[in-house]
Amino acid sequence: MEDLERILIELEERLFQPDVRNSSNELAQLISDDFIEIGASGLRFGKANVLERLPTEVAPEITASNYELRMFGPDCAQLLYKAKMSKIDHPSPIYSHRCSVWRQNNNAQWQMIYHQGTTCAPF
């Protein structure tokens, strides 16, 4: 399970990288077609919205800690963690608790199917 945790953390952190966030092709590989995100605003997004929105945004700087892996089955896992996000247009960092659900597809590739970030007090 340690190997899977390392793999999913690496995939999660790829989504933090500006070059990945700016690439619709890379995002499409990491995010499942049935992906859903609940943003801090409470709005719900699907894959099409993410592929349209992320490449046009200035990528924030994201650092993550306190990863926790929970298995839902042999091909489905939840990754919980804390994140600190710094944005150019925001004067102070934004702290959040985050949750991603990853599923292994028929090609043995792990893809994110769900993500939620909930703002919280600084940690």
Q: How far is CA 78 from CA 9, 61, 94, in A?
A: 11, 23, 22
Whole-angstrom distance, CA of residue 2 vs CA of residue 25: 28
pLDDT (0 to 100) of residue 98: 97
pLDDT (0 to 100) of residue 91: 87
Any idea what the CATH number is for the domain that residue 113 is in? 3.10.450.50
pLDDT (0 to 100) of residue 1: 67
Q: How many structural domains is the chain composed of?
A: 1
Whole-angstrom distance, CA of residue 54 vs CA of residue 99: 18
Instruction: Tell the residue number behind the tokens 């590739």, with chain if given.
Output: 109
pLDDT (0 to 100) of residue 89: 84
Residue count (the chain): 123
Q: Which residue ranges of the chain lie beneath pLDDT 50?
A: none
pLDDT (0 to 100) of residue 88: 87
Per residue in 9-42, pLDDT (tens digit) is 999 999 999 999 999 999 999 999 999 999 888 8
Q: Residues 80, 68: contact at Cβ < 8 Å?
A: yes
pTM over 0.85: yes
Sequence-separated contacts (24+) of 23-26 with Cβ below 8 Å: 23/55, 24/51, 24/55
pLDDT (0 to 100) of residue 84: 97
Range of the structural domain that residue 69 is part of: 2-119
